[in-house]
Chains A and B, each alone.
Chain A
Amino acid sequence: MNWLRKNLVVIIGLLVMAYILIPNLVVVVFSFNKPTGHFNYEWNQFSLDAWLDPCAAPGMCDSLGLSLWIGVVAAAVATVMGTMAAFALGRYRFPGRSSTNLLVFMPMATPEVVMGASLLTLFVSVGLESGTTTILIAHILFTVSFVITTVKARVASLDPALEQAAADLYATPAQAFWKVTFPLVAPGIAAGALLAFALSFDDYIVTNFNAGASTVTFPMFVWGASQRGIPVQIYVIGTVMFVGAVAIVGIAQAIGSRKRKVDA
């Protein structure tokens, strides 16, 4: 009884982890399925077909390439703009600072469907044709606020004495920035960039409003498939993305901890 009371939080925590991970496990398992019909809902037979020919589903790999490209470009632009703004907000006091913060917060507080709709009305009224450009504009818009928030937290937690110490030790303002400030803020920038990419890559609702008829991103392809029939290859991509993300972060962590050990 006492044991249960002490470890209740651990047990609940593990159960919730299971809740988070079971759908991913299902995705992994069903990537090896050989379904009977168009829909991959029931386990039928083990097969490597989808893994051996991941691009067999027509249009899927194109849409995947497009989504990766949009994700990278949107994340790059949002990270540059967001980082600049984060430095301004995290370190300077200036008139209009609080309304600027509000402007940054508002897109995060706006439901995607509203953002998608309002962008569409703008694009329609100025006659900008929907396509990759409009998707990029939209993705940069809803990721930049997340980048700003992430990087700003890092900038604000920086001790201003560090940069002064650099100046005191003969570093010009530019040298102080690149040798001290930037390396210290870099983890925040990396986190912001990764978040921006993930949000862009994952987005369906805003994209669907602004993609037009002929531009199909990966989430749009999945959506379409969920209506017509789901190719097993979708689960292969889901598995690769999941395992890849875990592996990348895992490797980064391992390198980080090894470096720490070497330092010590």
Chain B
Amino acid sequence: MALVVPGVRPVKRRAVRRWGTFTPLILLAPAMLWLTVFFVVPTFSLASQSLQTGDIDNGFVLTWHFQTYAEALGRYWPQFLRSLIYAGSATVITLLVGYPLAWFIAHRSGRFKTMLLVLVIAPFFTNFLIRTLAWQIILTDTGPVTGFFRATGLIHVLQWLGLVTSDALLYSPFAVISGLAYNFLPFMVLPLYTSLERLDLRYLDAAGDLYANGWNTFWKVIWPLSLPGVVSGTLLTFIPAAGDYINSKLLGNTQTVMIGQVIDAQFLRVLDYPTAAALSFILMATIIVMVGLYVRAAGTEELV
């Protein structure tokens, strides 16, 4: 069949989109301007800062001093590594405890669903710091939690793992990691809940019908389908946890110092801006590389 019929070609063409093309630009302009001026530009100014030399009294000059990076990493690699380990451990813990909770809320809580969701989010409204202070009270030496760990001998397990150094729970790696896990748990539970709630329970019947046992059903059906929630939950937990220093400062000791604490001190107390900027950059780059590899490995494009 001929596609072009002589004589009936369009005589007059009109622009189909009209001014609609500019609508997204106008809508995006304020937010993108804000993000550019206050995020992209500062990132460059931070990059420039990290390559400057000088001091706070005489001012800093851009000298392309890359050595600051080597020096900063050489001096602070233990805090750096510790941050990644603590944040990683906290992320694994939140995933392990958050998954059953998310499943419970999504499929087993009945009419209490909304109430439970509210209670998961509500701690957000009590200040982050106040909640961390509450952990000080919970883990205090004379408190029942410490008593329980001592009575059951669990404290020795923690000692053997290197998570506590004495017979006290407070001011230890154990306290820091459990504080981190506690503080970021809602960030894990909510995306997991969203993913699991969407999951049609009939898949489970179908899997059972195809002779999968409970474990296989979980690994082959539920887990892959919840992966988007797992990915955004772990990112939303790991990223802020890696840069956090409130938990390590309020619940830890001098041996639990995390990189955020170092950056904060270098910027605001030592006033060594180049070192602080270099450390910030290393942290950011590490996180971006890890997130990139992780997202690729998990095989999902949907971020957050």
Q: Does any Cβ of A come within 8 Å of B64's Cβ?
A: no
Tell whether, in the assembled complex, residue B27 and residue A26 are in contact, meaning their CB atoms are under 8 Å apart: no
Tell whether, in the assembled complex, residue B129 and residue A114 are in contact, meaning their CB atoms are under 8 Å apart: no
The residue on B at minimum CB distance from A97 is B24
The residue on A at minimum CB distance from B83 is A111
Q: Which residues from chain B contact A222 at a C-beta distance below 8 Å? A: 127, 129-130, 133
Instruction: Identify A114's interface contact among B115, B124, B135, B284, CB under 8 A.
Output: B284
Q: Which of A105-144 contact B (CB under 8 A)?
A: 105-115, 117-122, 125, 137-138, 140-141, 144
Q: Which residues from chain B contact A119 at a C-beta distance below 8 Å? A: 38, 42
Tell whether, in the assembled complex, residue B31 and residue A111 are in contact, meaning their CB atoms are under 8 Å apart: no
Report, as a range, how many residues of chain B touch the other chain.
35 or more
Contacts A108-B239, A109-B288, A114-B280; A27 near B129 (Cβ below 8 A):
no
B157-192: CB near A (< 8 Å → 1, else 0) gives: 000000000000000000000000010011000000
Tell whether, in the assembled complex, residue A23 and residue B280 are in contact, meaning their CB atoms are under 8 Å apart: no
Q: Which residues from chain B contact A204 at a C-beta distance below 8 Å? A: 128-129, 246
CA–CA, A103 and B259, complex, Å: 25
Tell whether, in the assembled complex, residue A92 and residue B24 are in contact, meaning their CB atoms are under 8 Å apart: yes
A72-114: CB near B (< 8 Å → 1, else 0) gives: 0000000011101101110010100000100111111111111
Binds A, one of B8-16, B72-80, B96-104, B204-212: B96-104
Binds B, one of A44-52, A181-189, A245-253: A245-253
Tell whether, in the assembled complex, residue B133 and residue A226 are in contact, meaning their CB atoms are under 8 Å apart: yes
Within the complex, the shortest CB–CB distance from A186 to chain B, in Å, comes to 17
Within the complex, the shortest CB–CB distance from B9 to chain A, in Å, comes to 29
Q: Which of B260-274 contact A (CB under 8 A)?
A: 260, 263-264, 267-268, 273
Contacts A81-B31, A118-B45, A119-B42; A27 near B126 (Cβ below 8 A):
yes
CA–CA, A144 and B109, complex, Å: 33
The residue on B at minimum CB distance from A125 is B45
Tell whether, in the assembled complex, residue B134 and residue A249 are in contact, meaning their CB atoms are under 8 Å apart: no
CA–CA, A230 and B108, complex, Å: 40
Interface Cβ pair total, 8 Å cutoff: 258
> Which of A85, A117, A140, A242 lies at the interface centre, i.e. has the most chain B CB atoms within 10 A of its CB?
A117
Q: Does any Cβ of A come within 8 Å of B146's Cβ?
A: no
CA–CA, A62 and B45, complex, Å: 34
Tell whether, in the assembled complex, residue A103 and residue B34 are in contact, meaning their CB atoms are under 8 Å apart: no
B108-135: CB near A (< 8 Å → 1, else 0) gives: 1100001110111111111111110111
Tell whether, in the assembled complex, residue A85 and residue B27 are in contact, meaning their CB atoms are under 8 Å apart: yes
Q: Does any Cβ of A come within 8 Å of B155's Cβ?
A: no
The residue on B at minimum CB distance from A119 is B42
Tell whether, in the assembled complex, residue B38 and residue A16 are in contact, meaning their CB atoms are under 8 Å apart: no
Tell whether, in the assembled complex, residue A242 and residue B235 are in contact, meaning their CB atoms are under 8 Å apart: no
Q: Does any Cβ of B come within 8 Å of A1's Cβ?
A: no
Per the CB 8 Å criterion, the residue count for chain A at the interface is: 84
Tell whether, in the assembled complex, residue B101 and residue A12 are in contact, meaning their CB atoms are under 8 Å apart: yes
Tell whether, in the assembled complex, residue B108 and residue A10 are in contact, meaning their CB atoms are under 8 Å apart: yes
CA–CA, A222 and B123, complex, Å: 16
Q: Which residues from chain B contact A32 at a C-beta distance below 8 Å? A: none
Contacts A105-B304, A113-B260, A121-B42; A100 near B127 (Cβ below 8 A):
no
Residues of A at under 8 Å CB distance from B?
Answer: 9-10, 12-14, 16-17, 19-24, 26-27, 30, 40-42, 80-82, 84-85, 87-89, 92, 94, 100, 103-115, 117-122, 125, 137-138, 140-141, 144-145, 148-149, 198, 201-202, 204-205, 208-209, 218-219, 222-223, 226, 230, 234-235, 237-239, 241-242, 244-246, 249-250, 253
Beyond A111-B244, A245-B124, A249-B121, 16 additional contacts (C-beta under 8 Å) are A9-B100, A10-B104, A13-B109, A19-B185, A40-B137, A81-B30, A84-B30, A85-B30, A88-B25, A92-B23, A112-B240, A113-B263, A140-B38, A144-B35, A208-B264, A242-B123
Name 24 A/B residue pairs within 8 A (Cβ), A-sorted: A9-B104, A13-B104, A17-B116, A20-B123, A27-B126, A80-B30, A85-B28, A88-B23, A88-B27, A104-B35, A107-B39, A109-B291, A111-B243, A118-B45, A121-B42, A148-B31, A198-B125, A204-B246, A208-B264, A209-B267, A235-B130, A244-B125, A250-B118, A253-B114
